[in-house]
Structure 1
Amino acid sequence: MSSSRGGPDQPPQRRITRTQTAGNLGESVFDSEVVPSSLVEIAPILRVANEVEKANPRVAYLCRFYAFEKAHRLDPTSSGRGVRQFKTALLQRLERENDPTLMGRVKKSDAREMQSFYQHYYKKYIQALQNAADKADRAQLTKAYQTANVLFEVLKAVNQTQAVEVDREIVFLVSLGIMADLAQILEAHDKVAEKTQIYVPYNILPLDPDSANQAIMRYPEIQAALLALRNTRGLPWPRDYKKKQEEDILDWLQAIFGFQKDNVANQREHLILLLANVHIRQFPKPDQQPKLDEGALDDVMKKLFKNYKKWCKYLDRKSSLWLPAIQQEVQQRKLLYMGLYLLIWGEAANLRFMPECLCYIYHHMAFELYGMLAGNVSPMTGENVKPAYGGEDEAFLRKVVTPIYDVIAKEAERSRKGISKHSQWRNYDDLNEYFWSVDCFRLGWPMRADADFFCLPIEQLRFEKHGDSKPVGGDRWVGKVNFVEIRSYWHIFRSFDRMWSFFILCLQAMIIVAWNGSGQPSSIFSSDVFKKVLSVFITAAILKLGQGRLYFISLLYHNI
């Protein structure tokens, strides 16, 4: 069984951003690293403004102005953390830069300036990189598409003369009055928008259709793993699912269980690299067509589910890793089990400090997966079995991770930053130990809101009530399961007993040497002084007896 640590760090969320106030923003830094978390949507706009500032300061100003307007729409009251300071600093910078950039403007209007710069950027970067696609760096091309997409968004905002939504062709015709340029810009943007959906950021593996010729994608091990993941034959897709190019089993898991899009992309790379690394160790020089080896697949599966199988054995439960009888479907089923586990782990946030809790979640979700693939029918509705929490967007985060994290957060509040006694609140270890017993299955699936795991202590229930004056939680609190640390000043002596004993014995020996004979350290070798120094062993025995009594007293205090 594995263990964990205590104390919540951050709530489950889709993005993690750093926040700073205007006091340390500086004069020229407005990018994604300092944008408040509630305004994270404007980070790409400010990044583009910094990028194009040297080439055209007025365009950079217009980007920042659009970012300011968007920030105000996102948080009109500036109630978010650091939002007011950030908006104030950005507004002050806009006021300083307005006149200088206006004087350096080449065209007669901001609309013409943005139009000209967008066309210039498209020709210089997008078309140039496309023409040299075999030599161009894919990261540069991805960045160029994203920048062009932001520039078009700012261009459209600059050209809008009224707040109502109108057709974009009419907006440009009225504001620009140039049909030819309009057609070119719209055509360019359509291409950029299409490519932006393909050229998305990635960590190691570019998995979009246009990256098949990338060097890393030519490795047989990568191709074998990717080909195996794209085997979606026989999977029951939801009726309202929109098909896309080159789907794989992780896309199916996302549609069924409601995982986040970015989590699916990260774990897709994760699983492919795990399989490829094990495969290349077993077969350093493949001589045949790319094909995922069953031995490599079993090795990865064994490592991933080592703790889960130990957990099932410890609780005397059968695992949910059931394989089909048809040999052709075994590989697909193994990949589905591994993909489901990695998706749960990738989206678990602070629940990763509770590994047995993840085992509990996976146990039930893997069982649901088996039921769907086996075609089981619900006795209540007569339809095929569906996940307990549905497949809506971010369903796993909202309905599974967040309720458990709320328990962690409430327990952390009870600790009062470590001031409360350990017996009065639960940390990660204590919450995880709840899943070390078969009693955890009383939590059910879907999880019961009135289960003892979610119950609050009686004294806390007095302050948290519904409108009908009924308590939020149940009538019991799980509390500590095993060891409870009792803190007192006696711990100073108990924890450093060897040091205290050593100091006392040394002091006794030095007093004996100092008060006998000449007082020189060499006098310890004389027979009379040496015999007296040996009395330190008697003192050591007395100290051990005192230590034992203190330990016995502490146990009595703990039981009381």
Structure 2
Amino acid sequence: MTSLSRTLSRGGPMQPPGQRRILRTQTAVNLGEQIFDSEVVPSSLVEIAPILRVANEVEASNPRVAYLCRFYAFEKAHRLDPTSSGRGVRQFKTALLQRLERENEPTLRGRARKSDAREIQAFYQHYYKKYIQALQNVSDQVDRAQLTKAYQTANVLFEVLKAVTQQHSVEVDHEILEAADKVKEKTKIYLPFNILPLDPDSGNQAVMKFPEIQAAAVALRNTRGLPWPKTYEHKVNEDLLDWLQSMFGFQTDNVSNQREHLILLLANVHIRRNPKTDPQSKLDDNALNEVMKKLFKNYKKWCKYLDRKSSLWLPTIQQEVQQRKLLYMGLYLLIWGEAANLRFMPECICYIYHHMAFEMYGMLVGNVSALTGEYVKPAYGGEKEAFLKKVVTPIYLTIAKEAERSKREKGNHSEWRNYDDLNEYFWSAECFRLGWPMRADADFFCQHLNSPDQRNETTRTEKQKGKVNFVELRSFWHIFRSFDRMWSFFILALQVMVILAWNGGSLGNIFDPVVFKKILSIFITSAILNLGQGLKNMK
């Protein structure tokens, strides 16, 4: 392995030795050793966090291997940020370098093998036999999270092993390569999860033996008849959400989260409706309809408000109805899960879902484009993270710019848009002018001019784009409009008190028939107030 001085000389200027020692002392005092124990790394070096975690884990059993892991993490950090320009990177690298220099000699003396390459290879074989093979032999009783952690640790150890053997020009044993290949395959299966382990080897886990969980998972894995992309690599236990990801380009972690989310929603309703569910029972259609009704309540209201037909079209073949409902629900949850700040704009999510559900219907029924003669495909394609980059990001950037303008400028509230104003754009049928795919030059994405002179000039020539019909206008009377019920109550209460005051001033007089008839006049006053409020809203 290269020396520390050679590592520091690569990629970027370093400080003189004297200044470096001073900085190391200050860093050690400020950061201490807890930075490596807690694995708090700068945001630009987040890739080395698993390596430091493994170093802490194996340090008790083999300090030299832990040293090699930290050294590899240091080299990787130097490649990621050679000039140490990121926030906290220079201090972090300096503190790590100080620890490496301090631990080099002690760990070298305690090394069992003649070279670092042989040392880490021997440790990898020991770790594989003790923690992976042993756990696999008792897989029925072992904690799955423990086995998942062992695979992840073995992956990191092999990454460090390759770097060390390359530096020493030592060949890796064939037995280690075979073990690494097996670990790599298993790592793709044993992925982190929240509640439900849904990989092929998780059938023996207790939570996966519940009948309601099995019924929902089996229903979700019904991918019969779906048009998969030609380049898609099929895998074991693929389901409807995998198909949605391949077609619309959702993020992998989002798909994993919403898969658990949907299964648990269905399982909870299913078990409430069928407390004595058989192990081989199918998902209850009534439970599916109940979840679907709650999920699309706001979307159907939005369609009804804008006088539009919803995109929830079901097939005539009864066997395909359940699959189609699950696809609609999965698509909505995937959009919601990846929308981030767009969740504060529920009608905006309805607009996005309306078009994407229509596209999905076209793909399922095999519609052919009149222009190209090919089958209908998503407007934004199915590239990796296409939904985040091409749908969410443009809308979020518009929100971010408006928020920045609201902080920077001191103009009227009507000159910039907040979440409510942007969401109000989707309360009108004019939002469909945005199109699908969304037009970059649409009014929704246009920004105000920053200069007051420019704004005045624009006002004289034409109306500003992006600020029509969906801007919340405020005035002095806005406070009265916002609290109209309170003001109405105060006026009616005042009328009652005046009537009582002119008729003896006693509260008991309210039961007098003559006084009670006069008090009933508050309903006439209330009707007049409501009429005035209605006329105000019509303006």
TM-score interval w.r.t. the shorter chain? 0.7 to 0.9
2 CA distance for matches of 1:299 and 1:289? Answer: 22
Cα distance in structure 2, aligned partners of 1:158 and 1:312: 61
1:405 and 2:411 are equivalent in the alignment: no
Q: Distance in 1 between matches of 2:315 and 2:93?
A: 58
Question: What SS is found at the alignment partner of 1:50?
Answer: helix
If the length of structure 2 is used for normalisation, what is the TM-score? 0.79
How far apart, CA to CA, are the structure 2 residues paired with 1:83 and 1:97? Answer: 21
Rounded Cα–Cα distance in structure 1 between residues aligned with 2:190 and 2:471:
52
The 8 Å contact of residues 424 and 479 in structure 1, kept in 2 or not, is answered as no
Count of residue pairs the alignment pairs up = 452
The whole-number CA distance in structure 2 between the counterparts of 1:428 and 1:346 is 18
Is 1:428 paired with 2:434?
no
Q: Is the 8 Å Cα contact of residues 148 and 192 (structure 2) preserved in structure 1?
A: yes
Q: Tell me how far apart the structure 1 counterparts of residues 437 and 229 of structure 2 sit (CA, whole Å).
A: 21
**Residue 430 of structure 1 contacts residue 480 of structure 1 at CA under 8 Å; is this kept in 2?**
no
* Residue 57 (1) aligns with residue 63 (2): yes
Change in Cα spacing, 1:205 to 1:91, as seen in structure 2 (3 Å) is: same
- Picking from 205, 219, 232, the partner of 1:228 is 219
Residues 258 and 458 of structure 1, relative CA distance in 2, 3 Å threshold: same
The TM-score with structure 1 as length reference comes to 0.76
Deviation at 1:268, TM superposition (A): 0.6
Aligned to 1:481: 470
SS of 2:367's equivalent in the other structure is: coil
d(CA) in 2 for partners of 1:455, 1:402: 15
Amino-acid identity (%): 76
Structure 1 residue aligned with 2:124? 118
C-alpha displacement of 1:24: 6.0
Give the aligned partner of residue 243 of structure 1: 234
1:179-258 correspondence runs (5 A): 182-258=173-249
| Contact 1:347 1:397 survives alignment (8 Å) | yes
| Deviation of 1:131 (Å) | 1.3
8 Å CA contact 1:421–1:487 kept in 2: the answer is: no
Alignment of 1:495-506 (within 5 A): none
Q: 2:447 aligns with which of 456, 459, 464?
A: 456
1:144 equivalenced with 2:150 (yes/no): yes
Equivalent AA in structure 1 for residue 438 of structure 2: M
Which residues in structure 2 correspond to 1:374-393 (within 5 Å)? 374-393=365-384
Partner of residue 101 from structure 1, selected from 107, 112, 116: 107
CA distance 1:296–1:39, change in 2 (3 Å): same
2:33 matched residue in structure 1: 27
In the alignment, is residue 265 of structure 1 matched against residue 253 of structure 2? no
- Between the aligned partners of 2:31 and 2:245, the Cα distance in structure 1 is 39
Give per-residue Cα distances to partners, 1:87-144, cap 9 Å, x unaligned: 2322222222222322322222211221121111111111111111111111100000
Q: Mark the runs of 5 or more structure 2 residues left unpaired by the alignment.
A: 1-26, 455-462, 488-535
Cα separation, 1, equivalents of 2:255 and 2:286: 25
Q: Report what 1:541 is aligned to.
A: none
Instruction: For residue 243 of structure 1, report the CA deviation from its aligned partner.
Output: 1.1
Q: CA deviation at 1:460?
A: 6.4
Task: Measure, in 2, the Cα distance between the counterparts of 1:324 and 1:337.
Answer: 12
String of CA shifts for 1:370-410, please: whole Å, max 9, x gaps.
Answer: 11111111011000000000000000000000000100111
The question of whether the paired residues in 1 share the 8 Å contact of 2:421 and 2:472 is answered with no
Task: Give CA deviations for 1:485-543 in whole Å, capped at 9, x if unaligned.
Answer: 4699x99xx9xx99xxxxxxxxxxxxxxxxxxxxxxxxxxxxxxxxxxxxxxxxxxxxx
Deviations 1:288-323 (A, max 9, x none): 622001000001101111111111111111110000
CA 1:318–1:34: 2 relative to 1, 3 Å: same
Higher relative contact order (CA 8 A, sep 6+): 1
The 5 A counterparts of 1:310-321 are: 310-321=301-312
Distance between the aligned counterparts of 2:347 and 2:247, measured in 1? 24
Mapped contact 1:434–1:440 kept (Cα < 8 A): yes
Farther off after superposition, 363-372 or 28-37: 28-37
- Cα drift, residue 68 of structure 1: 1.4
Note if contact 2:48-2:73 (Cα within 8 Å) is conserved in structure 1.
yes
Distance 1:209 1:367 in 2: 33
Relative distance call for 1:104 and 1:333 in structure 2 (3 A) is: same
Q: How many Å apart are 1:244 and its aligned residue?
A: 1.1
User: Would you say the 8 A contact 2:443–2:465 is kept in 1?
Assistant: yes
1:395 paired residue among 374, 386, 389: 386
Match of 2:94 among 88, 91, 112: 88
Separation of aligned partners in 1, 2:28 and 2:402: 33
Mapped to 2, the partners of 1:422 and 1:87 lie a distance apart of: 47
Structure 2 SS opposite 1:265 = helix
User: Is the alpha carbon distance of 1:349 and 1:461 closer, same or farther for their aligned partners in structure 2, counting shifts above 3 Å?
Assistant: farther
Check the 8 A contact 2:210/2:279 in 1, yes or no.
Answer: no
* Higher percent of residues as helix: 2
